[in-house]
Structures are given as structure tokens and as C-alpha cells.
Structure 1
Amino acid sequence: MFAGHDTTALSLSWTLYFIGLDRDIQHRIHEEMDSILGTNRDVTIDDIKQMHYLEAVIKESLRLRPPVPTIIRAIKEDLNLGKYTIPKGVSLCLMIDSLHQDPDIYPEPLLFKPERFLSEGNSSANPFAYLPFSAGVRNCIGQKFALIELKIVLAKVLLNYSFESLDPRDRIIEYNAIVSKPKGGLRVRVSHRSGV
């Protein structure tokens, strides 16, 4: 399976992993969920619209670990790039993960910094510098649904639980099977939040 299931499941896994690496980020999410949801109740569309920090965390996770790290596109007409011409019919491989880790676009690109996506923090960036769902006419039709699904699941889980990632980032080995997967999975310790 490719679209819809694996991509969302992997995005959820990576996001929980990154959250589990940083107690301050997790604490800030817990505060946001407590203030928006209070008790354990159903999440509404109005609630989702208020989850600004959680959305920034999701976007940063998708930046560092786009579910589909490469996209192949066939060129329909000659493409001029500076002094080079790429003839029509050629297939181009777009390295999304490399784009998302370009230090000219994202300073300190390997750091997990959700603040990049808060308010005007990233508004000057080219819209094609962030492509976890591709872009243009061939972008993912399920993008909005996936983001809402991620927010709802993460909100409900993080309202009640805390996560601690057990392996540092440099110990995670990834492989690409169309989607980028961690070999052996991602190990986290889950604990019930006290007082919830």
C-alpha cells in the first residue's frame, strides 16, 4: 500500500518519535491540548483550527521525514534551467528530503524546530521549498484529510499520554520502499499522563 495508509501511519510514527525526543516540545503540546480540549472529549473542527503548535510540529516532522522522499516526473516540454536545457520526455527525480534539508532554505536543517512553521516564521520561503505532499497539479489529493487525521489522532493521544523515544536519531536506519521507513521500527516508551 502506498497512498493514504502507509504515508499517514509513517507520518504519525515519525511525529511521535520526534515529540518523544524533546520534553519541552511535548510539554508545549500537552499545554495546548489541555487548553483546547480540557477533558477527554471529541475533537471538533474549531478545536483543530486552534492547534497551531501541534500543526507546526506535524509540519516540521513532515519536513524532516517526508513520507515519500523522492518524486519522479516526466518532462512534457523542454525545460530551461539557466544555461542548461532538459529535453521533453526525460524523467526527473526530485529529492524531497534533500530539498527539505537545504541550509539555504532551512537554517540548521537537521534540528527539529517546529517554530519554523509558526506565524510568519516561514512565510518568505518559496512555496515549492516544502513538498511533503508534492505540489501543483499532481499534489496529493488527500493532503487536507491526512493533516486533519494526524491532528485528531495526535491530539487525542497526547491529551492522555506522554512519549519518550528510546533511540537517538543517529541510531535510526532508514530504507526506502517508495516510502521512507525506519528499519526495525521506532521504539518509544508510552506512559499515562498523571492528573489526566
Structure 2
Amino acid sequence: MPFFCRNINLYPEFLFKLSPSGKEFFKLCDFVHEFSEDIISKRKEDLKENGDAEKRQLDFLDILLTARDESGKGLTDEEIRTEVDTFMFAGHDTTSSVLSWSIYSLGKHKDIQDKVYEEVKRVIGDKQYVDCEDISKMKYLSCFLKEVMRHHTPVPVISRMLDEPCVIEGVELPKGSFIDMAIHHAHHHPDVWEDPWEFKPERFVGDKHHDMDPDSFTPFSAGPRNYIGQAFAQNEEKVLIARLVNRFEISVDPDHEVEHFIEVVMRAKNGIMASFKERT
């Protein structure tokens, strides 16, 4: 996939399919689709055999299979598979990216790490776990993670196909056009963000960002194809960072240069060198 992104001559799909990377890419896509379809098929059978879905604790896939709109129409098999693919596979690398850059940001900004630690300690105390009530109380941690996703955008570029023609800045774009949107650059636009290259979780404190255009901060994309698992991902990240900070003091190697490397997800070109010292 990174090969595809960096080779403009392979953007037409029929050309990409003929390349060695394209053949491997679509082979892996078929494998992923078959894996998801097998899970969906087995769950459908399970729902049929075990009766009324309302009497059981529904998980993500159950909700997709039983969802109906106002007219009683459910999702198609392809729509369900697409959402399952997104939830199962898109969430892995993105969460890993956010956690990696969170560790880097905590180690690089000791004052911010201290604020996160103080809040976590105040909320969970000496407990060895984080419960649902704790998550909603950790306001500064939430701001910190938002700033991580702004400053080190986990998915820096997304693509969309136009369902209808539109005009952007005087340029006419026909229906069916593929549009690349540079979210990472939008997250650093000086017309939108004050001191865009500074790492400041405080920019998300209170209602400061509520007056902004909602599309100015889109780490999970936007519209009908935004990431369906974003609430789960954010809670997962909060729990992991809270437990990590509560147990360890984090530092990074000041002599190791960290540079953004834009692929499908945001990575560190030469990795991140971090150390963890257990708190006493």
C-alpha cells in the first residue's frame, strides 16, 4: 500500500493491478474479505439458531446485522463486510500509531506528563484498573490525546470518491473523481490553529474548540465513512495511557531525532527511543 501511495503512475487501478505490488495488494484484500465474510456468515447462523437478538447482549457485529432504518431496510452484505473490515483491521495500526506518538509526547514534554499523571492519580488513586466512570473524569488526558491526534495525525491522508460533481476554489470536479484530503496538513493550518506546530493540549480545554468548524479536526475522518469504532478506540487509548503513566515515568532519548514518515498511518521514520522508570 505505501508503494501505491508514493507512485503516481500507478494511481489508475487497472495499472496498479498489473504491478507486482498491486497483485500482492489485491490478493491480501481478497484474503481479508474472505476472513470477514466467514465471520459474518457464522454470526448470521448463530443469530438464526439462538432466536431473538433482543434477548442477548449485542456486540458490534450483532448491531450491524440487526440494524434497520425508518423503512425497515437493513445493511447489505457488502456494507456489513466493509464496516467489519474497517473495525477489525483499520483500528489496529491507527491505535498503535496514537499510542506510540502519545508515549513520545509524554516523554518529550515533561510538564504535560506531570499534568496527566496528577489527574490520573487523582481519579484512580491506588487502583490497578480504570473503570468506565474514571474515563469520563480524566478531562486533561482527553485533551492530551486529541492534541496527539492533531499534531501526529494517525491517518494523515484519506481518499474519497465524489458521488456528485462539485466546485472547490473555482475548480470543477466531475462525479466519480477521487479526492485526496491531507488531514495532517489541515491539522496544522495557521488560519485554523493558533501556533499549529506547538504541542498544546490546552487548546482543547473547555469550549475553546467548539466554535471551530467541526471539519477542522478530523482524526477519524468525517461524514458517513468516518471510523465507526472511534469511541471504542478513544476509550482504549485513555485506559492504556492512564495505566502506563500511573505506573511509569516516561522519557525519550534527546539525541535521537524523531521525524514524521507519512504512510497509510503516521510513523516515526527512525523509530521512537523511549525509556520507562517505575514510579515508587
TM interval, short-chain normalised: over 0.9
How many matched pairs? 193
1:2–1:179 contact (8 Å) kept in structure 2: no
Long gaps (5+) in structure 2: 1-87
* Partner residue, 1:71: 158
* Partner residue, 2:63: none
Question: In the aligned structure 2, how far is the partner of 1:103 from the partner of 1:52?
Answer: 26
* Partner residue, 1:28: 115
- Which of the pair has the greater relative contact order for Cα pairs under 8 Å at 6+ separation? 1
Which has more strand, going by share of residues? 1
Say if 1:168 and 1:78 are closer, same or farther in 2 by CA, change over 3 A: farther
Instruction: Report the CA distance between 1:89 and its aligned residue.
Output: 1.2
Instruction: Report the CA distance between 1:72 and its aligned residue.
Output: 0.6
- Give the structure with higher Rg (CA): 2
Say if 1:55 and 1:118 are closer, same or farther in 2 by CA, change over 3 A: same
- Bigger shift: residues 34-43 or 53-62: 34-43
* Partner residue, 1:121: 208
* Partner residue, 1:188: 274
2:240 paired residue among 131, 148, 153: 153
Instruction: Report the CA distance between 1:181 and its aligned residue.
Output: 1.1
Q: How do 1:7-26 and structure 2 match up within 5 A?
A: 7-26=94-113
1:175 and 2:268 aligned: no
CA deviation profile, 1:128-164 (whole Å, cap 9, x unmatched): 0001100110000110110000000011111111111
Amino acid at match of 2:270: G
Question: In the aligned structure 2, how far is the partner of 1:118 from the partner of 1:95?
Answer: 25
1:90 and 2:184 aligned: no
Instruction: Report the CA distance between 1:85 and its aligned residue.
Output: 1.9
Say if 1:159 and 1:3 are closer, same or farther in 2 by CA, change over 3 A: same
Which has more helix, going by share of residues? 2
> Pairwise CA RMSD of aligned residues?
1.6
Instruction: Report the CA distance between 1:183 and its aligned residue.
Output: 2.1
Amino acid at match of 2:258: I
TM-score (ref. length: structure 2): 0.66
TM-score (ref. length: structure 1): 0.93
